Amino acid sequence: MTNTIKDVAKIANVSIATVSRILNAQGGYSEKTKFRVLKVIEELGYQPNAVARGLINKRTHTIGVLFPKLSSSLVTDLLDGIEKAANDNGSSVIVCHTESNGEKTMKYLQLLIEKRVDGIIFASEILKDEYYQFVTKAKVPMILLSTESYAYPVPFVKVNDYHAAYAAAKHLIDKGHTNIGMISGKKDDIIAGIPRIEGFKKALSDHGISLSPDNIVFSRGFNFPDGVEGLKKLIGQFPDVTAIFAASDEMAIGTLSAAYQLGIKVPEEISVIGYDNLNLAEMSIPPLTTVGQPLAKMGEAAAEMLFTIMETGETPESRIMPHKIIERMSVKERKE
Amino acid sequence: MTNTIKDVAKIANVSIATVSRILNAQGGYSEKTKFRVLKVIEELGYQPNAVARGLINKRTHTIGVLFPKLSSSLVTDLLDGIEKAANDNGSSVIVCHTESNGEKTMKYLQLLIEKRVDGIIFASEILKDEYYQFVTKAKVPMILLSTESYAYPVPFVKVNDYHAAYAAAKHLIDKGHTNIGMISGKKDDIIAGIPRIEGFKKALSDHGISLSPDNIVFSRGFNFPDGVEGLKKLIGQFPDVTAIFAASDEMAIGTLSAAYQLGIKVPEEISVIGYDNLNLAEMSIPPLTTVGQPLAKMGEAAAEMLFTIMETGETPESRIMPHKIIERMSVKERKE
DNA sequence: TTTAGTTACGAAAACGTTTACGTTGCAATA
DNA sequence: TATTGCAACGTAAACGTTTTCGTAACTAAA
């Protein structure tokens, strides 16, 4: 039974229109009544009802974000940036955890659309046809984050995985390594799998390093256990490796861990470079050299793009964010 | 210009009341009209407007969560649990990032209340008087998560920090250690500081181990750098330590890292036990023994408590969740 | 055949705002 | 003095639902 604008109006002896005008600083009232109304608002502890506002304004000042997984530093940093930008623009963010499950994703999209969010950020996951059709039909603006669609014209923000992987491999080469392996993620992942593998390959071939299928190991995902398995497999099929590019930081930490178990010293015997620059990266032993994505910045950018769509109506250009080699202690110069 | 219930009604040749009844499966309509209406809904791709629903039902099916920090595994796991429980109950969650800033916190509370969220989860932060007054006046149910209030009757869910710290220290003692140090967090933190320190002290004294001020080192926070600083300080003032209780996993990982820099072997020379059981803990070298909090479960519990308040109106009892020693590789049995 | 009860609806109010439009009173101008 | 213009409001419709109440038609019982 909280107070409404009517209560304020009645007590202040004005119409609700006047109260509304004062609340929104629209002018059309005298200073005297303004103070009187403000005083009543103060006394009643009146809080305007954003639901009613949303109904009439058709803006809820809320955006929805879909993540495949919540408990991951990668997602966390993205979310951090999104939340910041949203807050700066006077909006809130609803988080959804899809578990990469198509049905759940559709349910969440439906929920968000029923709640009339102003926009949707779809992160770290492949945009299926079904999803795209659904949200375009609902005419809700959408941005892809840390993913991209080749089939549909949905603006995205991400780093160029191909280039970043190239840079990672080149860093290893520049440090004098020639026996370079890769612990990749999912072989057929169009976003995080293939481009990184191809970038890696290109860097080697550009620098005259021969490459056999034994140089690369494939995994089921991009997680810690995949990294420990990965190293074991790689060592088996490519015993001469002196440097490894892991397709994610979690996998890199996994290989660090596996190396420790196997009694292999990093970076003395094997150098490791990761991908992502998660918080973890600086906490590992040794601290992980990695190619960093500006995750928080990416999140911010995505949210801001959403807001520009809402204001201008124009779909903004996609943004390729810069990656950067973060040198720490897990890669060593190799001298022959 | 999306379709409304009116459009559906008009095309199906029924009143909006009937459409509404069908949507909510309330009965009072024939099977024939039900199918006809459903067909129209399907054709139009009609999505009910949750904003309008919220206005009249006074339930938004949305809860708000306040965190001091987003990019931390601790928070992430809590959020994971909250999101799960919320989703199971047909609700969404809005995340807010307070940065432990009083002004920002108040702004967020106001925002959440204006948005008429059904409930609020206040996590990992001290509940100030101002916050409490504000949300009680608004009559929005609130649960404290991973924190607790001594001054106000707000139900909470957390582990017993005192007991958990006691258990951690006892684990070290049981493993034969007698020169035990602690790298604690903020000395005057009522929730995560003092209870853990006191629990630690009690365990030592209960087992006849003398304790000087040199056994404990205090930090500014609970983060990685605090852990690396902590170890250095502790070694300086207490060179004989063989086992260390770090007040958080991040700090524990920090001490691992510092130990590595200093050439101290863990667990051979020094054993380390952490607190939290974050994802990090199993990824460290060596894998971290720690006292685990069931973070996701705690998040779930908090959300579920919120829902029971909404349904029953009764404030539920606070829940003390069980902690558990997770044995991994960073603590070694000591033989004399 | 009448009556009572039930089923299947429709009309309209209500939720708490914003806003288009109308109205009043007063000052300034002709 | 009559007219105009503007500031300062008030009235009421609108946003898209849910729900109460009323009613027509039909069924079953008397």
Cα end-to-end span (Å), chain A: 79
Evaluate whether residue A314 is within a structural domain: yes
Residues of chain A with confidence (pLDDT) below 50: none
pLDDT for position A277: 93
Taking chain B (336 residues) in runs of 10, the rounded mean pLDDT of each run is 89 92 89 91 94 95 94 88 95 96 95 96 94 95 95 95 95 93 90 92 92 90 92 92 94 94 90 93 94 95 95 91 95 81
CA nearest neighbour of A73 among A324, A318, A290, A304: A290
Asked if residue A119 and residue A238 are part of one domain, the reply reads no
Asked if residue B260 and residue B171 are part of one domain, the reply reads yes
Helix (H) or strand (E) holding B84: helix B73-88
Evaluate whether residue A53 is within a structural domain: no
In whole angstroms, give the CA distance from residue B40 to residue B45. 8
Q: Is B196 helix (H, G, I), strand (E, B) or coil?
A: helix
pLDDT for position B28: 82
Q: Tell whether B4 is within 8 A of chain A (Cβ).
A: no
User: Counting every residue, how long is chain B?
Assistant: 336
Contact A70 B48 (CB under 8 A): no
Mark which residues 152-211 of A lie under 8 Å from B by CB. Answer: none
Contact B76 A84 (CB under 8 A): no
Evaluate whether residue A335 is within a structural domain: no
CA nearest neighbour of A228 among A238, A237, A239, A217: A217
With contact defined as beta carbons under 8 Å apart, do A47 and B138 qualify? yes
Alpha-carbon separation of residue A102 from A131, A137, A330, B86 (angstroms): 9, 18, 38, 19
Residue with token string 């009116």 = B6
**Nearest CA to the C1' of C14 belongs to which residue?**
B56
Asked if residue A306 and residue A269 are part of one domain, the reply reads no
Contact A95 B93 (CB under 8 A): yes
Q: Measured from the CB, is B335 under 7 Å from any atom of strand C?
A: no
With contact defined as beta carbons under 8 Å apart, do B163 and B326 qualify? no
Q: Measured from the CB, is B139 under 7 Å from any atom of strand C?
A: no
CA distance A133 to chain B (A): 11
pLDDT for position A264: 92
Contact A115 B51 (CB under 8 A): yes
Asked if residue B223 and residue B202 are part of one domain, the reply reads yes
pLDDT for position B257: 93
Structural domain boundaries enclosing B94: 60-159+295-321
Asked if residue B66 and residue B13 are part of one domain, the reply reads no
Q: Measured from the CB, is A17 under 7 Å from any atom of strand D?
A: yes
Length B26 CA → C8 C1' (Å): 12
Q: Is A99 helix (H, G, I), strand (E, B) or coil?
A: coil
Mark which residues 108-147 of B lie under 8 Å from A by CB. Answer: 110-116, 137-139
Token pair, residue B305, equals 């408590």
CA distance B15 to chain A (A): 21
Asked if residue B169 and residue B276 are part of one domain, the reply reads yes
Asked if residue B86 and residue B22 are part of one domain, the reply reads no
pLDDT for position A336: 61
Contact B47 A282 (CB under 8 A): no
Residues 25-54/A with CB within 7 Å of nucleic chain C are 26, 46-49, 52-53
Asked if residue B230 and residue B187 are part of one domain, the reply reads yes
Evaluate whether residue A10 is within a structural domain: yes
Asked if residue B253 and residue B165 are part of one domain, the reply reads yes
Token pair, residue B5, equals 């219930």
Evaluate whether residue A333 is within a structural domain: no
- Residues of chain B with Cβ-Cβ distance to A97 below 8 Å are 80, 83-84, 87
Evaluate whether residue A332 is within a structural domain: no
Length B180 CA → C6 C1' (Å): 80
Q: Measured from the CB, is A20 under 7 Å from any atom of strand C?
A: yes
Mark which residues 35-94 of B lie under 8 Å from A by CB. Answer: 45, 47-52, 54-55, 60, 62, 64, 70-73, 75-77, 79-80, 83-84, 87, 92-94
Length B29 CA → C6 C1' (Å): 13
Residue with token string 């649990």 = B81
Local structure of residue A200 (DSSP, 8 states): H
Query: What's the CATH code of the domain at B43?
Result: 1.10.260.40
* Candidate from A49, A93, A280 with C-beta closest to B280: A280
Q: Spell out the alpha helix ranges (H) of chain A.
A: 5-12, 16-23, 31-44, 50-57, 73-88, 102-114, 129-137, 161-174, 194-206, 224-237, 249-262, 280-283, 295-312
Asked if residue A284 and residue A165 are part of one domain, the reply reads yes
Asked if residue B153 and residue B170 are part of one domain, the reply reads no
CA distance B315 to chain A (A): 19
- Torsion sign (Cα): A267, A271, A277, A280: negative
Length A26 CA → C26 C1' (Å): 22
Structural domain count of chain B: 3
Q: Measured from the CB, is B4 under 7 Å from any atom of strand D?
A: yes
Mark which residues 276-335 of A lie under 8 Å from B by CB. Answer: 279-280, 282-287, 296
Q: Measured from the CB, is A54 under 7 Å from any atom of strand D?
A: no
Comparing alpha-carbon positions, the chain A residue that sits nearest to B86 is A96
pLDDT for position B336: 60
Evaluate whether residue B73 is within a structural domain: yes
Evaluate whether residue B283 is within a structural domain: yes
pLDDT for position B1: 60
Chain C footprint positions (protein CB, under 7 Å): 7-12, 14-20
Query: What's the CATH code of the domain at A102?
Result: 3.40.50.2300
With contact defined as beta carbons under 8 Å apart, do A229 and A257 qualify? no
Contact A287 B257 (CB under 8 A): yes
Asked if residue B175 and residue B139 are part of one domain, the reply reads no
